[in-house]
Amino acid sequence: MITIKSLQEIELMRQAGRIVASTLRELAKAVKPGVTTMQLDTLARRHIEKLNARPAFLGYQGFPASICASVNEEVVHGIPGPRRLEAGDIISIDVGAYFKGYYGDAAATFPVEKVSPLAERLMKVTKDSLFKGIEKARPGNHLYDISAAVQAHVESNGFSVVRKYVGHGIGTEMHEEPQVPNFGPPGRGPLLEAGMVLAIEPMVNTGTWDVKTLDDGWTVITKDGSLSAHFEHTVAILQDGPEILTSF
Ligand code: MG
């Protein structure tokens, strides 16, 4: 069942989305050489709590932190810790907030000072693929029109989309139906309707799309050690098209 949100519910989701967005803005300023991923986590938690919201990931299925911090070949679900960022790293940060009964969820990959041309291009292609997907999030389209648009942009640029992890519906639960893959044939899947809210989140690798999970049970890395980037927005489908609720 894909839930349809009322305009009042979407207004509450805008508020949750703005909290996520402002957290990512704070994190963007804090990403620099020498900072630990744990320091970023603390910053995010304090910021979210100051805004009277709750970090959505903290304790989710036992996850021990408020953000996911995934560096270089780490794809998603990296656990913040003592690792210090170094110039040339890229870091994907995923943030979720729960506010007045609704969730917001977004992610972005940030460069730590100057990064390689390949990393630069990976971040741009991944971010652009997210916006190609968002453009398809409108009433009358099919769900997989989003998926196909993301995949086409990524693969035409020589990169690969992760298959094992996908986007999702979002609302009073962080993960609702439907799953939103970043690959698949256009014209398939459920018809999109006004009132659906989706977290669209391409995870893109410079090498193989295949991934594996580390022994910590959380951190997902590329199987071949290639670089990975992740961009995500919570997007409401309105009568006249998509509205990004987590714009920052
Ligand atoms: Mg998500």
- Token duo for residue 216: 């910590």
- pLDDT for residue 4: 98
Question: pLDDT tens for residues 140-170?
Answer: 999 999 999 999 999 999 999 999 999 999 9
Strand partners for 71: 91
226 domain-assigned: yes
Output the pLDDT for position 29: 98
Give ∠ CA 202-205-208 in degrees, rounded to 5: 125
Structural domain span for residue 238: 7-244
Burial 78-112 (b: 16+ CB within 10 A, else e): bbbeebebeeebbbbbbbbbbbeebbbbbbbbbbb
Measured in angstroms, how far is the CA atom of residue 199 from the centroid of ligand 1? 5
How confident is the model at residue 221, as a pLDDT?
98
Residue 2 lies in a domain: no
pLDDT number for residue 178: 98
Output the six-digit token pair for 109: 């990959």
pLDDT averaged over every residue in the chain: 98
**Å from CA of 172 to ligand 1 middle:** 14
The domain that contains 127 carries what CATH number?
Answer: 3.90.230.10
CA of 45 to the centre of ligand 1 (A): 17
- Would residue 1 count as lying in a domain? no
* Domain annotation covers residue 117: yes
Q: What is the mean pLDDT of residues 7-34?
A: 98
Give pLDDT, residue 140.
97
pLDDT, position 11: 98
CA distance 183 to 123: 18
pLDDT at 26: 98
| Confidence at 175, pLDDT banded by 50, 70, 90 | very high
Identify the pLDDT of residue 122: 99
Structure confidence at residue 20 (pLDDT)? 98
CA 174 – ligand 1 centroid, Å: 8
| pLDDT tens, position by position, 36-93 | 999 999 999 999 999 999 999 999 999 999 999 999 999 999 999 999 999 999 999 9
State in Å: Cα 142 to ligand 1 middle. Answer: 20
* Residue carrying the six token digits 């993960």: 175
Give the Å distance between the CA of 35 and the centre of ligand 1: 25
pLDDT of residue 69: 98
- 167-192: average pLDDT: 98
Q: DSSP letter string over 52-113?
A: T-EESSTTGGG--SSEEEEETTEEE-PPP-SPBP-TT-EEEEEEEEEETTEEEEEEEEEE-S
211-213, strands of its sheet edge to edge = 74-76, 220-222, 211-213
> What confidence tens digit (pLDDT) does each residue in 83-102 have?
999 999 999 999 999 999 99
Number of independent structural domains in the chain: 1
